[in-house]
């Protein structure tokens, strides 16, 4: 039995959107960390919440050194 495809659309309720962002942000950071360990790579994530707050994650190195390397 397969899974059905969910429709991706914007969440209109602000509080529900913030809760969903927080949950997904944690999952995304966890997956990025796992990928960095498995493949021995540097990863940097920059995210802005629906309220405009900055969140960032970097694996192994400091975020600034990864940003400089990217430029």
Number of domain units in the chain: 1
Percent pLDDT > 90 in the chain is 28
3-state secondary structure of 41: coil
Give dist(CA 45, CA 49) in Å, integer. 13
pTM over 0.75: no
Residue 50 maps to a domain = yes
Domain membership of residue 62 as a residue range: 14-70
In degrees rounded to 5, what are phi and psi of residue 16? -65, -40
Residue 7 maps to a domain = no
Kindly tell me if the per-residue pLDDT of 35 is higher than 80: yes
- At 63, the pLDDT band (50, 70, 90 cuts) reads low
User: Bridge-partner residues for 48, per DSSP?
Assistant: 54
Location of structure tokens 């995304």:
28
Residue 6 maps to a domain = no
Kindly tell me if the per-residue pLDDT of 33 is higher than 80: yes
Residue 8 maps to a domain = no
Task: Output the domain CATH number for residue 56.
Answer: 3.40.1810.10
């Amino acid at each position: 039995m397969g899974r059905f495809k969910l429709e991706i659309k914007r969440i209109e309720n602000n509080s529900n959107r913030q809760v969903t962002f927080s949950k997904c942000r944690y999952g995304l950071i966890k997956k990025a960390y796992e990928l960095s360990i498995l493949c021995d790579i540097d990863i940097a994530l920059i995210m802005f919440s629906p309220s405009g707050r900055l969140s960032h994650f970097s694996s192994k190195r400091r975020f600034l050194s990864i940003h400089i390397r990217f430029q």
